A = this chain, B = another copy of it.
Amino acid sequence: MEFVLQKSDNKTKARAGKLTTDHGEIQTPVFMPVGTLGSVKGVHMKDMEEEVKASIILGNTYHLYLRPGLEVLKGAGGLHRFNSWKRPILTDSGGFQVFSLSHRRKLSEEGAEFQSHIDGSRHFFSPEGVVDIQRTIGADIIMAFDECTPYPSTVQEAKHSLKFTKRWTQEAMDYLREHPPLHGYPQYFFGIAQGGMHRDLRKEAIEQLIDLNPDAYALGGLSVGEPTDIMYEIADYSTDFLPKDRARYVMGVGTPWNLLELILKGVDMFDCVMPTRNARNGMLFTSQGVLHYKAARYAQMIEEAIDPHCDCYTCRHFSKAYLRHLFNAKEILALSLSSIHNLHFYLRLMEQAREKIENDSFESWAHEQIQVLQQKAP
């Protein structure tokens, strides 16, 4: 997989780069909107292209495996043809979801047995099996099946999941090498480094991964309940050991200011349900800080857009008062308009970060934004 490191910031570890897949190029830093079940909740694919301008979206292997299931996805010729998304797709491995099922799953060296959260039916995910599911889905980027180390975890526990993850990653890569893509385009493979909040184990995990030489590197097991400072510190520590000529991906993070902090620490790729989930709950991210539709003062703000500096569809056409009204009246359009805005905001923030990295003004801008974006919006 081609990853070109186009610019390294001269003051921080921030980077600007470019990933190339058969479905298109991805400029980094990049935020990848989550399309759990093959749709980004509440947002039309055409709006994902034209308004959000996403260059890649995620699909969740666990969810897609259960619904619509492999038979349908195979029949459709992969997820791209099923959901009509023309640009790249990354699928997670299902590892995180399966391990989140806690009492409904049983782990062994071979993989994980689990019960569906929908109907309780029993299933088994092996490293090879998960690669096969992702081959059927036709993801441009396949994630390794890993064991997500919980927080907190003892050194012993973290070592244990490291052992499984290492073995599974090897097996997945071997399997992928021996089984050509089903849909005629290459599928790239990202390894995942675990290690909990233990520096030594993070380093060990990364070194093991480097031996396997995946197309890019993800840091898993972050944003799992640890204090934010520890997350930043572990990411900062870890990126020092990652090869410069490969992309780095922190999974499942986070707020806009989390993203900027992690870019400062040398991370290139992000995904999170936060922009869409929070949008559906009426929480909007703006260039002036965070707002919640419920604030009574918005009822009369008939001229002001959610974000005066935003040029998304929502902000171009509608006021705070209108959006508040739609939420109040439980109109489903509120969910869609808010999701479009939040996603556009995340994507635009990554675009700006890139511009700032390119002209060596990232550090001061990022630190300022990290303050501003957390404020309460007017």
Contact = CB atoms under 8 A, between A and B. Distances in A.
A333 B42 contact: yes
A310 to B, nearest CB: 16
Interface in A14-69: 37-39, 41-47, 63, 67-68
Contacts of A41: 331-333
A313 interface: yes
A103 interface: no
Interface in A307-325: 313, 317-319, 321-322, 325
B332 A332 contact: yes
Given A37-B329, A302-B82, A321 B68 contact: yes
A67 B317 CA distance: 20
Contact of A300 (B37, B72, B300, B326): B72
A10 interface: no
A302 B43 contact: no
A43 B335 CA distance: 11
A46 B41 CA distance: 19
Nearest to A316: B84
A227 interface: no
Contacts of A299: 68, 72
Interface of A: 37-39, 41-47, 63, 67-68, 71-72, 75-77, 81-84, 299-300, 302, 313, 317-319, 321-322, 325-326, 328-329, 331-333, 335-337
B37 A325 contact: yes
Given A317-B45, A322-B83, A300 B332 contact: no
A75 B39 contact: no
Contacts of A82: 302, 319, 321-322, 325
A68 to B, nearest CB: 4
A67 B325 contact: yes
B332 A76 contact: no
Interface centre among A41, A71, A299, A332 (most CB of B within 10 A): A332
Contact of A332 (B47, B321, B335): B335
A-B pairs, top 6 by smallest CB distance, nearest first, are A68-B325, A76-B302, A84-B317, A39-B333, A37-B329, A75-B302
Interface centre among A43, A47, A333 (most CB of B within 10 A): A333
Contacts of A322: 38, 76, 82-84
A326 B35 CA distance: 12
Contacts of A67: 325, 328-329
Nearest to A85: B317
A317 B321 CA distance: 33
A328 B64 CA distance: 12
B76 A321 contact: yes
17 contacts: A38-B322, A39-B333, A41-B331, A43-B333, A44-B336, A44-B337, A67-B325, A67-B328, A68-B299, A72-B300, A72-B302, A82-B322, A83-B318, A83-B322, A84-B322, A332-B332, A332-B335
A84 B318 contact: yes
A47 B337 CA distance: 13
Contacts of A47: 44
A324 to B, nearest CB: 8
Contacts of A81: 302
Nearest to A74: B302
